[in-house]
Amino acid sequence: MEIQESVGIIKALGDTSRLLLVQALHTPQCVEELAERCGLAPSTVCFHLGKLEKSGLVKKQKDQYYVVYSLNEAIFDKSLRELTAFRNAEEFAQNDRIRRYRAKVLHTFMKNGKVTRIPAQYKKKRIILDEIVARFKPGVTYSERQVDDIIGEVCDDYVSIRRAFIDEGMMKRKEGIYQLVAPQSGTEPEAKSTEQISTPEIRVKTRQEIKREYKERKKPSGVFQVKNLANGKVLLGSSLNLEGPLNSHKFMLANGGHRNEELQKDWNTFGPEKFVFEILEVVKVKDDPNFNLEDELTLIEQIWIEKLQPFGEKGYNKEPRIRQA
């Protein structure tokens, strides 16, 4: 069974009215009978029968003046395991997306066959490393000078690249002699048939991998506000990491130690139920080497400052710049 066929069946069953119709169709019936039995309008029954028929769950045939609907027993006899044991029809599209992403990274960080700069993000850096390590031949040994010369053809910072080869397990070094580790990491596997696909082996991540993933996890940056519903005053803020500031404001206010005395006074007067903590806008990060997150955040912050004017009677802010790390 193809993946789209499975998706169509599962989607068709994801509705209360359709499940009622399926249950009622234990015997073939026409639209009017189904409408009366399920307590639905005939037009509603026709609509849902069309969805069920499109997915192959229901079939129809004409009986004199009526159209009689019945279940497609061939599909209902399938187990849930059979419905989900489809051939991955999207595998080609997935591999194509990976290839296009790789090409985009290479285009961004390499010009005329030379690395312009080494990406900070691990995923992109690994693509650059894979591109450079492909210049070395399996089974051949290299001196450190030879390794530097080969890397130097495409990247001036050959020391960092050579060290990364070792750290990533792409090459091994013994007594000044370098050699590729086989099989190479980062090569794209060929597409496998359903029969060849096996359950992936579970591997426990190392502490270093967990730390790296945490550091590289995309944290939302943007503008937020603490708003007093009683008088409409707001405290406007912005941060490169929105996960922390709102919780920090809540904690300080709840414990009576907020550094903004006016805000703390109103909190004590009106009570927590009169305050809302919300994100106003999140910065959309662009996959562009010239994109500067801080500059973009500053621009968005200024727009909200002009819009809300959170000063004096309108707000709790003392100065326009209120960025929080």
Closest CA to 304 of 282, 275, 286: 282
The pLDDT of 317-322, averaged and rounded, is: 64
* pLDDT tops 90 at residue 64: no
- Write out the residue limits of the CATH 3.40.1440.10 domain(s) in the chain: 222-324
List pLDDT tens digits, range 255-304: 999 999 999 999 999 999 999 999 999 998 876 666 778 888 888 998 99
Which residues are bridge partners to 317 per DSSP? 311
- 20: tokens are 């009622």
* pLDDT tops 90 at residue 191: no
**Highest mean pLDDT, choosing among 62-66, 220-224, 321-325:** 220-224
List pLDDT tens digits, range 25-35: 988 999 999 99
The pLDDT of 298-322, averaged and rounded, is: 84
Q: Tokens 């509705």, residue?
A: 15
* pLDDT tops 50 at residue 137: yes
Range 222-324 has CATH code 3.90.1280.10: no
The pLDDT of 21-26, averaged and rounded, is: 90
Give the C-alpha separation, 229 to 246, whole Å: 17
The predicted structure's pLDDT at residue 258: 93
Give the C-alpha separation, 79 to 199, whole Å: 20
The predicted structure's pLDDT at residue 209: 64
Lowest mean pLDDT among 200-214, 216-230, 268-282: 200-214
**Highest mean pLDDT, choosing among 81-95, 132-146, 174-188:** 132-146
- Write out the residue limits of the CATH 1.10.10.10 domain(s) in the chain: 3-84
Q: Which CATH architecture has domain 3-84?
A: Orthogonal Bundle (1.10)
Alpha helices in the chain (DSSP H): 3-13, 16-24, 31-38, 42-54, 73-76, 80-84, 91-109, 122-133, 144-152, 158-167, 207-216, 245-254, 261-270, 293-308
Are 118 and 160 in contact by the 8 Å Cβ rule? The answer is yes
List pLDDT tens digits, range 139-177: 999 999 999 999 999 999 999 999 999 999 999 999 999
The pLDDT of 202-216, averaged and rounded, is: 60
